[in-house]
Amino acid sequence: MRTIGFIGLGVMGAPMADNLVKAGFDVVGHTRRPDGADRLVAAGGRRAGSVAEAARGADAVITMLPDSPDVEAVVLGADGVLTHCDPGTLIIDMSTVRPQTARALAAAALDRGLESLDAPVSGGEQGAIDAVLSIMVGGTAEAFARARPIFEALGTTIVHVGPAGAGQLVKAANQLVVAGTIELVAEAIVLMEASGVDPALGLEVLGGGLAGSTVLARKGTAMRERRFKPGFRVDLHHKDLGIVLDAARTAAVTLPAGELVAQLMDAVRRSGNGHLDHGVLIRGVEHLSGRDKTAGGSAAAGGSATAGGGAAAGREDASGRVSASGWER
């Protein structure tokens, strides 16, 4: 494994590609944005002008894209990765998509004599920058063994969780826990503020006890200070919670808290905050409590609000869908 085609150089993909270069891999990156590969080139990687160029000659092709339709188009499309990659290329989708998409990709790859893995990640932008991501992998044990040197350049917790689609199911569970925890951190901050307790001191002591968590450590201060520069956008977490609820229906499982936090995420998104970090859930708590701190919205915390739930802050793709990065995560 030496040459890696990397498709999707956004908030997560760009630092991940950088770390692969640092680990000694020859990384050929592609993104729709004209300047999207500049960072990779500066780090020592190469620019690909198309999906085909990124896929040809690669030992492995990694995709890091916003949603299932993006992955399907880029990997399974008529001019996609499977059409252009060489025999023996390993396909690794590190996006967060539906388990059904992961299984369809694996079946299509197998039909062409190729192997694929679904390997979504957790840890956010900082985890990607620091190469300490948690990577949950679905696919065969043989493909996982081939990909392990790649994963070791990106993360520190790397687990083969089962067959194709299993990685995405575990990622859905991860997103359920993260969303619920962020909502509870938001409620705790607002409760302390309304009660006249310094939330900075409160969060410090919470972090040292059973309430301590990675979410609290990484998000608590920014939420308290109402800083919502996106590390992980509401639009994407809203999409992920849709995957969670779909998986619950498929498994005939009831998720009462999951249903509630999905509604709260949707409400914040519809209020014009879709392009902001998911820590902006605290705005929803403030609104429900009659304690809104900013009039009308998101301009005070990292960008102007747009009609239609904030997604319009991005670019529209050929299908009419919008992603804030234009394509990639």
List 22, 171, 229, 293, catalytic entry: 171
Rounded-to-integer distance, Cα 183 and Cα 171, Å: 18
Question: Taking all residues of the chain, what is their mean pLDDT, rounded to a whole number?
Answer: 90
Residue with tokens 């081939």: 146
Mean pLDDT of 192-208: 98
Going by C-alpha positions, the residue among 216, 122, 217, 126 that lies closest to residue 170 is 122
Domains and CATH numbers, the chain: 3-163 (3.40.50.720), 169-323 (1.10.1040.10)
pLDDT of 323 strictly over 80:
no
- Which DSSP letter does residue 87 get? T
- Which DSSP letter does residue 277 get? B
Mean pLDDT of 172-194: 98
pLDDT recorded at residue 301: 40
Our answer to whether residue 171 is catalytic in this structure is yes
pLDDT recorded at residue 299: 35
pLDDT recorded at residue 316: 30
pLDDT digits (tens, 9 = 90+) for 213-264: 999 999 999 999 999 998 889 999 999 999 999 999 999 999 999 999 999 9
Going by C-alpha positions, the residue among 6, 81, 4, 3 that lies closest to residue 328 is 6
CA 152 to chain CA centroid, nearest Å = 19
pLDDT of 183 strictly over 50:
yes
141: pLDDT confidence band, cut at 50, 70 and 90? Answer: very high
pLDDT recorded at residue 327: 45
294: pLDDT confidence band, cut at 50, 70 and 90? Answer: low
Mean pLDDT of 145-169: 98
Rounded-to-integer distance, Cα 325 and Cα 115, Å: 29
- Cα–Cα distances (Å) from 126 to 2, 122, 152, 209, 214, in that order, read 25, 10, 16, 23, 12
Rounded-to-integer distance, Cα 246 and Cα 252, Å: 10
pLDDT of 322 strictly over 50:
no
pLDDT digits (tens, 9 = 90+) for 86-109: 999 999 999 999 999 999 999 999
pLDDT digits (tens, 9 = 90+) for 50-75: 999 999 999 999 999 999 999 999 99
- Which DSSP letter does residue 278 get? G
Mean pLDDT of 200-212: 98
H/E run at residue 121: strand 121-122
pLDDT of 114 strictly over 60:
yes
pLDDT recorded at residue 94: 98
| Phi, psi angle pair for 80, to nearest 5° | -90, -170
> Among 116-120, 129-133, 142-146, 299-303, where is mean pLDDT lowest?
299-303
pLDDT recorded at residue 34: 81
pLDDT recorded at residue 329: 59
- Which DSSP letter does residue 47 get? E
pLDDT recorded at residue 304: 35
